Amino acid sequence: MEAIKCCISTALLCIGFTVLVDSIMWQRILWPEFEVFWFNSVLNRSSEWGTHSIHWYFTSALPRSMLVAYPLCLVGALLDRRIVPYVLPVTLFVVLYSKLPHKELRFIIAAVPMLNVSASLAANRLYNNRKKSGWNFLYVLMLGAFLASLGYSAVSFMASYSNYPGGHALKALHEADSSMKEKVLHIDVLTAMSGVSRFCENEYPWRYSKEEDISIEEYQNRNFTYLLNEHRYVSGYKCLFGVDGFSRARIQPRFPPLSLVKVPKVFAHGNTGDPGVLSLDWPGCP
């Protein structure tokens, strides 16, 4: 009973803090987690943000996030039945979330720690029996898998670092134009999803618009000073610079054997009718 009281009081305290902070940031009464739950589960509108197959968590998300620990967690449940009562609820949790058409790793990331516990049991059994016939080969195989996972993690880290061109573009735009003249910047969906948030915004004279569903032809009829979007050419605007983002990994016949291929993902445009914009020194678009 004491534990239940502690959990309830802590939950209410945390909810109060998040409502207070987010309401101040967004200038309206807001409980973000409840809005997400209502949109995704009650209204069942999550599919508007894209869908994946029902098996995506088990065949793509978990293997890519856990790497060598993924097969080891299955082995751990077979070698030590004591972990099954802990792994089974976690697995059912992922199964239930698999029924939702829109899937993201963050929805089921809480399942990973317990699956890693199961994987650690398998790794421990292989280590303790590494000198026995048959087990030594499996032990070496596990070590090789760990090294492969480490290499994959390094490549993924470098790719993730290059996966936020929108944030880099917004920072570069702020640094390039330090005048006190009021500026209106439009940010499209791709840019907003690749590193731009309210925390990146500056105070006056900068103003921001994230209005959606604006056609590329309509931009020239709007009073935006700058644009950050995925289009290289926009009528009525000059392309000022582009920011590269991760595209794919490429195998090469030298060390390191993998290299990251980057291509321009986000472009900054300036209104050609604004002489103040055109007077600045811009690198131009590739």
HEC readout, 177-214: CCCCCCEEEEECHHHHHCCCCHHHCCCCCEEEECCCCC
Residue 151: its pLDDT value, please?
87
CA gap 236, 192 in Å, rounded? 22
Q: Are 18 and 32 in contact (CB under 8 A)?
A: yes
Segment 34-41 long-range contacts (CB within 8 Å, at least 24 positions apart): 40/100, 40/102, 41/100
CA gap 43, 34 in Å, rounded? 12
Please say which residue of 134, 161, 188 terminates a domain. 161
Per-residue buried b or exposed e for 190-199, using 16+ beta carbons within 10 Å of the residue's own CB: bbbebbbeee
Residues 35 and 94 in one domain: no
Residues 227 and 148 in one domain: no
Any domain includes 284: no
Residues 105 and 174 in one domain: no
Residues 200 and 236 in one domain: yes
Any domain includes 286: no
CA gap 214, 208 in Å, rounded? 15
Which burial class, exposed, middle or buried, applies to 138 when counting CB atoms under 10 A from its CB (0-12, 13-18, 19+)? Answer: middle
Domain count, the chain: 3
Residue 207: its pLDDT value, please?
95
Residue 67: what residue type? L
- Please give the radius of gyration of the chain, using alpha carbons only, rounded to the nearest integer: 25
pLDDT tens for each residue of 176-218: 998 999 999 999 999 999 999 888 999 999 999 999 889 999 9
Residues 54 and 157 in one domain: yes
CA gap 88, 78 in Å, rounded? 12
Residues 171 and 273 in one domain: yes
Please say which residue of 129, 161, 193 terminates a domain. 161
What 3-state class would DSSP assign to 208?
strand
Could you list the residue range(s) of the whole structural domain that residue 115 is in? 50-161
Tokens of 284: 């131009």
Residues 139 and 232 in one domain: no
Question: Tokens 């059994």 appear where?
Answer: 125
Weakly modelled stretches of the chain, pLDDT under 70:
none
- Show the DSSP H helices in the chain as ranges: 2-26, 32-37, 56, 62-66, 69-79, 84-97, 105-108, 112-128, 135-161, 165-176, 189-193, 275-278
